[in-house]
C-alpha cells in the first residue's frame, strides 16, 4: 500500500458526492427545458443514489447494497429504453422537445 493511499477516503466524502450528484439531478430535472436533458438529469439522480448504495455496502461489508445497485441499473436501462421511445414519439408528433410546450393536458 503506498502512502498516498494509506489514508482511506472518509465516508462523508462519498456521501457528499452522492448528495451533490443527486441535487444536480434534481435541479436539472426542474429547470432544464429540453426533454432529453431532463431525462439525463433523472439518470444523474439514479446514479447519485447508486453511489450511496455502494458506499454503504462497502462500509458495512454488506452485499445487499451492491445487489440493489444492479437492480437500479436494470430499471434505469428499461426506463431509458421506454423513455427515449416516448421522447422520439413526442418529437415526431410535436416537432419540439421543449418541456413547457408539451402541455396538451392543460385545460
Partner 1 sequence: MNAHLYLWLIPLLPFAGFLLNGILGRRLPKWLVTTVALLAPLAAFGVVLNAALGVFGIIPVTIISLPFTETCPLPWINAGLLHVNFSFVLDQLSLVMLLVVTGVGFLIHVYSVGYMGDDKGYARYFSYLNLFLFFMTVLVLAGNALVMFIGWEGVGLASYLLIGFWFQKKSAADAGKKAFIVNRIGDFGFLIGMFLLVANFGTLTFTEIATKLGQDPGWNGGVVTVIALCLMLGATGKSAQLPLYIWLPDAMEGPTPVSALIHAATMVTAGVYMVARTHVLFDHSPFALSVVAIIGAATAIFAATIALVQNDIKRVLAYSTISQLGYMFLGCGVAAYSAAIFHLMTHAFFKALLFMAAGSVIHAIGGEQDLRKMGGLRKKLPVTFWTMTAAVLAIAGFFPFAGFFSKDAILYVAFLQGTNGKILWFVGLLTALLTSFYMFRLWYLTFMGESRSPEVHPHESPWSMRGPLVILALLSVCGGWIGMERFGNFLAPSVGVLPTEAGNMRLEIILSIVAVLVALEGWLIADKLYRRKPARPAQYAAALPTGYKLLANKYYVDELYGAVVVKPLLGFSKFVLEWVVDFVILGGAAWLLGGIATFTGAILQRWQSGNLRSYAAWLAAGAAAVLLFLLVPWATVLAGLTAIHLGMAGH
Using CB under 8 A, list all residues that contact partner 1: 26, 29-31, 38, 99-100, 102-107
To the nearest whole angstrom, how small is the minimum distance from the Cβ of residue 96 to partner 1?
A: 13
To the nearest whole angstrom, how small is the minimum distance from the Cβ of residue 98 to partner 1?
A: 10
Nearer to partner 1 by C-beta: 1 or 104?
104
Angle at 30 between CA 24 and CA 35, to 5 degrees: 100
Nearer to partner 1 by C-beta: 66 or 91?
91
Nearer to partner 1 by C-beta: 22 or 53?
22
d(CA 39, CA 87): 9
Q: Under 8 Å CB-to-CB from 52, ≥6 apart: which residues?
A: 14, 15, 18, 19
Phi, psi of 99 (to 5 degrees): -60, -45
Amino acid at each position: 500500500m503506498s502512502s498516498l493511499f494509506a489514508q482511506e477516503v472518509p465516508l462523508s466524502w462519498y456521501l457528499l458526492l452522492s448528495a451533490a450528484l443527486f441535487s444536480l439531478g434534481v435541479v436539472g430535472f426542474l429547470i432544464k427545458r429540453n426533454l432529453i436533458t431532463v431525462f439525463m438529469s433523472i439518470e444523474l439522480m439514479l446514479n447519485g443514489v447508486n453511489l450511496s448504495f455502494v458506499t454503504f455496502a462497502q462500509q458495512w461489508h454488506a452485499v445487499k447494497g451492491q445487489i440493489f445497485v444492479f437492480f437500479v441499473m436494470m430499471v434505469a436501462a428499461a426506463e431509458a429504453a421506454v423513455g427515449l421511445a416516448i421522447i422520439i414519439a413526442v418529437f415526431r408528433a410535436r416537432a419540439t422537445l421543449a418541456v413547457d410546450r408539451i402541455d396538451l393536458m392543460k385545460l
